Structure 1
Amino acid sequence: MDMEIGTKLKEAREEKGLSLESLQETTKIQKRYLEAIEKGDLHILPGKFYARAFIKEYANAVGLNPSELLEEHKSEVPSTEENEIEYTRLQRSNREKRRGRSNLFNFSFIPTLIVVLLVIAIVFAAWVFYQKTTANSNPDPVPEQNDEIIYSEDAEGESNDNQTDVDDEDEGNDDTEDKKNDSEKPEFSVVEEGSGGSPESELDLNNLKDNVNIKLSLDGDTYIQIDGESGENYLEGMINPDESPEEIDISDEEKVYFNIGNAPALTIEINGTELEYPVDPEEYVHQKIWVNLNKKTE
């Protein structure tokens, strides 16, 4: 027997003249899940959280108010209290990991290099001073001919000045090279921040090379769909931490689409640069993101 909420959604779809295929294209929810919602077979869906999330997407697509619909039929839709407890635990774990990564990247390599160079310069200066002191305390024997030996302090001083100049030049070159490498790393920027219950955002990723790879790391189960602008589907379905990390080559694409069911559990990196969710993933667990892959021109 059909559930009342499923019947109401189906009637709203038919009134708008929408087919399940067109609804699948709009919501990015697989047709078999849409049919399950209409028939009331919510146990077919990936989990309790997805039942509520998919119903919200369906309601938005056919012009119904999802909050009012869920409240009116709350006895028919499974509660997500247990899932919320689990997501809270996952979110806490994610925050701790991100805090650790943030502390790691806040440690700058350049100050460390400067300290090392200063230590080397001090050691070198001490060695030169020691050599000069030793030479002065143990002068070479004076020949019997009483020939006068003249030590050129100017030449030695000039040598030290030249060495200092070389050290300064090397230090400057190292700093310039480090800054150049930092500026060439891939970098995300927000083009448009999404809104609504399942926000759809757009990002730019600049400074990419010809080879582009996605790395997915998971702390929990999540639904993920990855499509290229070319029309190729790279991944769709539920994945779990046992399958992590997952790596995907998208070098032939200029734009890629992510449909993420459990954002707090999923970390996305493209060519080693982590994607920061434009909308708080702890508040909006279901997010859709387009990323423009802007490759460098030589």
Structure 2
Amino acid sequence: MSIGNSPEDDRPSPEEEPPSIGRVLHQARIGSGLTFDEVSASTRVRVPIIQAIEHDDFTRSGGDVYARGHIRMIAQAVGLDPAPLVARYDSERGGRPAPTPAAPLFEAERIRPEPRRPNWTAAMVAAIVAVVGFVGFTLFSDGEEPRRTTQVAEGPAGADEGSATPQPSREKPADPKPDPSDSAIAAVPKDKVTVRLTVIEDKSWISAKAANGKIFFDGTLNKGDSKTFQDDERVDLILGNAGVIELYVNGKLVENEFQPGQVQRLSYTEGDPEAG
């Protein structure tokens, strides 16, 4: 009597669980032939943090926002698409919180100058000067031919004999236009912190939040994209590719020496720009 296979033997084997985030990053780094120091140099993420992430320990990253940034930068350095890894990180932690929409922000470039109003005062002065000049000429040339009166009424007389001395103009000069501000965003409110950034090439991952922890933005901006953030006390930034970003703080351009691929953590308050 032959004994057949048991029903359990015919059951399909369960699918193998995919490798963890840290395992995927570790294998990609080894496959790319990169050391921890080389990945750290290109991402500005410290070696102990990279080592912890490869062991799926994200506690050293300092929070979910920083952990997402570290995953993105390390994945790009070892040649991986960071989006699936970040999505998996969020799903394993109950989903990513929806960002709170920021209040309408002030953008000085949208302000249109008021149309210049007619200078009625200058017009009235010019009219009075013309009347006074005409009356004065009439008094001085009372015995002259009507032809000469007609000439003066149209404009100053020439050097002909008996012509009246032209009256000096008393027209009030037009008000000088104010010099343009040196700042590209000169009219920002002085009682708030206003930060505007623009990606001038490539792309960059950006995270921005207010002093109370409210997230303004957490995502990737492409070349040409701009964002403006404003808070009463402080604006905290994480720039994932700082070298490609043009940054204005409180209406002033921030001069920096950030490099492409460099991660920068910055904080700005009233009276800045000064790197936090």
Please, what TM-score do these two structures have when normalized by structure 2?
Answer: 0.48
Higher helix share: 1
| Larger CA Rg, structure 1 vs 2 | 2
Please, what TM-score do these two structures have when normalized by structure 1?
Answer: 0.46
